Structure 1
């Protein structure tokens, strides 16, 4: 176990009924993917641990649900302040557990979570909790006990986008962090306690999806599951949860298209598109992993990509000059490498990168950032979510062809269009995806985020993100 003070994490424990609950059973080791060192461990939880957490959440629910929404928002704002205060710890944890570059964690761990908390509190404070329709009083009420199951690629942000709106809505929560990146969950739990959240309203059970995740999805006293992860795992959560007819909100995989129109600023489109394609080492469900370009401009775009890619240094994620660190695990490195090999075998043109680790790196879960050109839109690397820094450049003939390619996968999470604004807006309206950015538009925390098709069925952020965690009651009088 690494004893470096900067990587000193608490003893393995769940968080149940407002306190750390020590665990003396089997542990799951947390491995730094850059070095292979074990930096911490968390409990390999059981269904019995889930029962205890759900019992605590059920007992705490009535009191929290009855708390005035303004007071719930005040508690949540204190949570945001606590996350800001401990942002440096969260950033260090992300780098240690899943290899996120410090140049990225300054945003993802320090700046973005408090901003998201405040925006959600703003929504709750202005929300119409009741409304009159003729002789009916429409009341919005919390769902109950919410199971939040989060992935490893954005550990703290995914906790915030699920747990915070659930709490604002008056629910109690049981969180299952990802096994690969569980460390931020303990910090978040401590922050909620310091903020005055009543014991039992927020709980954490560590463990695997096969055991803890399944137990939460099946539990008869869990009223809702909010899940972010792979489409395959999302299908399983839905199937298990259907046995008790509980509500399920899913944010799943993506294969997002970045359509560059002939009237676009090519350099801005290429550099902006590559930045999102390779953000967080490409481990982003909304990554622009397909770049659709006019056939006549294909070679010019490829040349611009070569130039832009030269800025992406790969190496130790703790080095603030590095833009890309390792992937989150050795298993992920092998998976992404297999896709790179598949792209070559299927005849795509390898522009840069390829199989193997980057030059000078003999260990760690590193891959070479890779760009393929002349990619067949029906090929595996254009259809399947790779979840690594692999970009597929696909030529198209006209607008209809571009839209056909963009919509031609099972996914529909995000997308982008670069071009003259009205032209780009017309294309964006035709894309079967939950969110589209035009010309690199900035992130809006008040807008809903979620997918079409097999990218999911729920929404996060904004008013819609709060409504996911509410029931609607009509009282006639």
Structure 2
């Protein structure tokens, strides 16, 4: 049953009855094509806006992990593994169509589970998932090996390569974009013929369960897509250590990714780690300041700042610094705040009380370390906040030794600093430990291209932020991890290549 506050919340925004039924029923696992109840206890799921208990979720263990891996290996050796590529393509396209037809339902799940804007959930999470599946469906029939001529072998030979699925993939998915990130990993894995065991965040399991049901409904064989719910240090580590997992793909924080990666190397798994970020933004003297401010606000306050590539540290040329701060201030103060189910909301609740506390601690540190508050949460109220929504907070006069400029905050917080020479801006932008993304604002084409080559990041945005497309790879370097999601570059990590030598004659 829902609590009164959740019932009132759902009634206020006219949440459909079938959505309410889905989000308030117990969340189990999905293994071998069916839901499976766990045997090791349950975890409360908390709705981010009301902070009330939504339902409970099965807390998985090694038992469920073993069962899911066995189901995935059985499917790999069975009907899924024998499907011709074009049949796989048709199934992937059917899943894309099912997700598109389920847009309203899935948008509600993301808004309720994550607390995010339902408008963003539809435009970014659901539509982005459909596009990703449609893109990778086209790759199923194009994963060819090659033939070549020997360059050193004597006699006559025929030599060629064959590409095969890497096997069973463990996909560890974060809470900020749970549906879209899962589909980023599913699209390439399914196109290559792999099977998947997904571990959603223990905070946001709803959309993964819905997707697993949709996949079964459109005809995916049992065991191709499995979901094991539970705590990361239990289920995630069990998947990382499991000898039946051939590849692990993880999106999340750098500390957790490092721990998972170490475990996975114990069984020599393939690894893709998309980790944290502290993306620098350079605004040059040649920038259109108003346009730059609008794009910066979109890039750092999307999903209330809970975005790995958020442009959260800005370096502005001294000639535009004051104007930019004013544009950022006025723009941030105009962003409507409210619950995720209100389609007008741009700033919505943070995902959990614990995460909100971490963000507030970072805001407090910025005040203590001498950053200048431009707008947002004043020092006097930092410890008093009790709701889930934090106002967009901007600090000026930031320096590299401040935590706000060094550490990933993952909340609606932006730091701005002034620079005089472009070489100084580049050096400071490259000085952090991360390397996920960077952005450049300038109306000079020469300047933007030159700077894009000097910045150390896996994704460079010019006069925009957070532009993502299924045809382009996404991933970072340094403490932001390695490997790519999306783009043709992602495919190789889900494929094994065999080299075959044929001696002709003697």
Q: What's the TM-score, normalizing by structure 1?
A: 0.96
Q: 1:448 matched to which residue of 2?
A: 473
Q: 1:256 matched to which residue of 2?
A: 279
Q: Any idea what the Cα deviations from partners look like across 1:351-374, whole Å, max 9, x if unmatched?
A: 011258999x97532222100011
**Aligned with residue 490 of structure 2, among 441, 462, 465:** 465
**Aligned with residue 320 of structure 1, among 322, 325, 343:** 343
How much does 1:334 deviate? Answer: 0.4
Runs of 4+ off more than 6 Å: 356-359
8 A contact 1:35–1:363 mirrored in 2: no
Asked if 1:86 is matched to 2:102, the reply is: yes
For residues 224 and 467 of structure 1, what CA distance do their matches in structure 2 show? 12
SS in 2 for 1:392: strand
How much does 1:394 deviate? Answer: 1.6
8 A contact 1:123–1:462 mirrored in 2: no
Q: Which stretch of the first structure deviates more once superposed, 14-23 or 141-150?
A: 14-23
Q: Any idea what the Cα deviations from partners look like across 1:43-88, whole Å, max 9, x if unmatched?
A: 0111111011111111111232332222111111111111111121
RMSD, aligned CA: 1.8
Call closer, same or farther: CA 1:290–1:466 in 2, change over 3 Å.
same
How much does 1:230 deviate? Answer: 0.3
8 A contact 2:126–2:179 mirrored in 1: no
**Aligned with residue 51 of structure 2, among 20, 36, 49:** 36
What does 1:37-436 align with in structure 2 at a 5 Å threshold? 37-63=52-78, 64-125=80-141, 127-134=142-149, 135-355=158-378, 363-419=386-442, 420-436=444-460
8 A contact 2:126–2:180 mirrored in 1: no
Structure showing greater radius of gyration is: 2
For residues 283 and 385 of structure 1, what CA distance do their matches in structure 2 show? 10
Q: Any idea what the Cα deviations from partners look like across 1:309-357, whole Å, max 9, x if unmatched?
A: 1221111221111111110000011000000000011111110112589
8 A contact 1:255–1:411 mirrored in 2: yes
For residues 370 and 472 of structure 2, what CA distance do their matches in structure 1 show? 40
| Structure 1 portions without partners, runs of 5+ | none
How much does 1:12 deviate? Answer: 2.8
For residues 75 and 219 of structure 1, what CA distance do their matches in structure 2 show? 28
Call closer, same or farther: CA 1:431–1:66 in 2, change over 3 Å.
farther
Q: Any idea what the Cα deviations from partners look like across 1:137-170, whole Å, max 9, x if unmatched?
A: 1221111111000000001001100122111111
8 A contact 1:76–1:195 mirrored in 2: no
8 A contact 1:88–1:109 mirrored in 2: no
For residues 275 and 435 of structure 1, what CA distance do their matches in structure 2 show? 17
Call closer, same or farther: CA 1:452–1:262 in 2, change over 3 Å.
same
8 A contact 1:108–1:154 mirrored in 2: no
How much does 1:110 deviate? Answer: 3.1
For residues 163 and 281 of structure 1, what CA distance do their matches in structure 2 show? 26
SS in 2 for 1:83: helix
8 A contact 1:176–1:212 mirrored in 2: yes
Q: 1:7 matched to which residue of 2?
A: 20
Asked if 1:439 is matched to 2:463, the reply is: yes
How much does 1:108 deviate? Answer: 2.6
SS in 2 for 1:300: helix
Q: What's the TM-score, normalizing by structure 2?
A: 0.91
For residues 340 and 87 of structure 2, what CA distance do their matches in structure 1 show? 40
Call closer, same or farther: CA 1:16–1:473 in 2, change over 3 Å.
same
Q: Which stretch of the first structure deviates more once superposed, 367-376 or 95-104?
A: 95-104
